[in-house]
Structure 1
């Protein structure tokens, strides 16, 4: 039988040693217990964010660079990028909550917003419409497009709006031609090569490939001299209200990448090579077409959005009397 000491000093010493062990165990448990928003060893837990983009062109480079070069991670975000053909389809995914952000044309977003959708425009990454209308070699003037088939990505998309602007410039009406929804910009060129359409609206670098193949450029849309918000970042206003710090972090990351993408030619081409299957000559040509249109920082100006609204009034008359300032939230870019 074990003998218990009656010496109070020995008992006190044993109790103190026991309590030290209990305290040490408790302290270690607390130290290695992950807190909210953090993992073990003090590492920050990244907030997962899904962003969709609806075109494969040099205009998406700001988003790609933010993802690839760690700008999102620097601001505590784990980013996933998802390509969805056509802005209208991506808008539906955003509305359904399948993605957190969309790098999109504002046109389908404005249309849905005017009809009650919970969208908000956070930043403009490209403030000019960088499209060129190409036709088969036999077509020498824009007026000759009457009765022809013209390829776009989707009805209501930026490519659709660009064709309508070109038709107005040529003195034609949308009813004078047939719109063919193809799905994506590279697919428009493929349809032109196959003879399925007579003309198509293209953006870099696909436009460079079209020139090499002998297709005739009829109109470079920026030559119309119109301010036009071409692409940017949108989300749901309810998401902004519930997670403003996440929005702030996201736009801070995008602002940082926008500066690098616009000013560092080598970094831009490195990113474009990763996402686009084209040789350097085509990539450089496309990047040059976008260079002046890139926004840094990506401030969501109203002037370009007003031009988008004006182009949508025939199809979406609800936009006529709305206040576009309610569609825009610029505080997350202004704060950087």
Structure 2
């Protein structure tokens, strides 16, 4: 498994890598979805904030935070973006991941359904594409369905889909599934196509951050200055997003392969600014929420605290 991940990761670095800086520290950094809440990473790379802080960032797109976690365990990645479910489960099994910042403290997934389905009751016996099992859409929709009195894989069938969110939207368009879990801006595109935005996950789960910047505690110990500089670059990028609409939508459009400027401006103004976390500080209640879920199945979760999974020393 690790050899497969290694070959996959190294093959993708070429897509997002620039020429290395002579004195910069190389950091292989993964992102897990083509979603705007991951844009601070893209902006830090494209605008030059990583370069400014002596980081030679090599970005690689690995759909699904759980796969990125495996790639980091293999040693191919130094930092990455992942949702808390995969990270906390890995740590409970013995890993030493830690969040050093959070790009969004709001759950941004939406259950999007076929045009003829306008009520959650109609989804009984139907199929929902959730990306990779163990990833954020899969993890969160299982919790949400249970909160709403539905049993995952009995009342509603959750199916693994390979590829990213655009693949899920294409599956919904084909009629192969009746629902998918995706996030903006693809939710806006789905609405344009006539599909129903049936359930906003954030209305059910008030405390859950979708994306955080992870590394290992060992890397923090060995390379504290590198982690600090990476966070400085991501902080600069976050401030840029809030102050530079034109530059931000250009970068978001490039990474998400969206050329409709009017659509991008609408997304930036109506969704993205409300999703990005200005300070990068994590919502500790969100970590506690995930731990509460894990305590139902894993006794080890009772022995840890939310603070064991975060390190905010580099935030300012």
TM-score category of the 2 structures, normalised to the smaller one: 0.7 to 0.9
CA distance in 2, matches of 1:166, 1:323: 23
Aligned residue among 241, 249, 264 for 1:283: 264
Aligned residue among 51, 54, 61 for 1:83: 61
In structure 1, the partner of 2:158 is 179
SS at match of 2:129: strand
Q: Write out per-residue CA displacement over residues 212-270 of structure 1, whole angstroms, 9 at most, x where no aligned residue.
A: 11111111222336021110100011111111111111111111111111333222212
CA distance in 1, matches of 2:214, 2:70: 13
Specify every segment of 5 or more residues in structure 2 that has no aligned partner in the other structure, as ranges.
1-20
In structure 1, the partner of 2:215 is 235
Aligned residue among 115, 131, 141 for 1:137: 115
CA distance in 1, matches of 2:180, 2:31: 21
CA distance in 1, matches of 2:95, 2:144: 29
Specify every segment of 5 or more residues in structure 1 that has no aligned partner in the other structure, as ranges.
1-42
CA distance in 1, matches of 2:286, 2:247: 28
Residues 150 and 198 in structure 1, CA contact (< 8 A), matched pair in contact too: yes
SS at match of 1:103: strand
The reply on whether 1:104 has 2:86 as its aligned counterpart is no
Residues 77 and 250 in structure 1, CA contact (< 8 A), matched pair in contact too: yes
Residues 288 and 305 in structure 2, CA contact (< 8 A), matched pair in contact too: no
Moved over 6 A (4+): none
Aligned residue among 49, 70, 91 for 1:113: 91
What is the correspondence of 1:202-221 to structure 2 with a 5 Å cutoff? 202-221=182-201
Aligned residue among 86, 92, 103 for 2:70: 92
State the shift of 1:182 in Å. 0.8
Aligned residue among 281, 293, 297 for 2:275: 293
The reply on whether 1:55 has 2:42 as its aligned counterpart is no
Residues 55 and 85 in structure 1, CA contact (< 8 A), matched pair in contact too: yes
Which is higher, the Rg of structure 1 or of structure 2?
1
The reply on whether 1:74 has 2:55 as its aligned counterpart is no
SS at match of 1:292: helix
Residues 104 and 233 in structure 1, CA contact (< 8 A), matched pair in contact too: yes
In structure 2, the partner of 1:255 is 235
SS at match of 1:309: helix
CA distance in 1, matches of 2:294, 2:265: 33
State the shift of 1:201 in Å. 0.7
Q: Write out per-residue CA displacement over residues 79-116 of structure 1, whole angstroms, 9 at most, x where no aligned residue.
A: 11000011111110011110110112121011101111
SS at match of 1:55: coil
Residues 119 and 236 in structure 1, CA contact (< 8 A), matched pair in contact too: yes
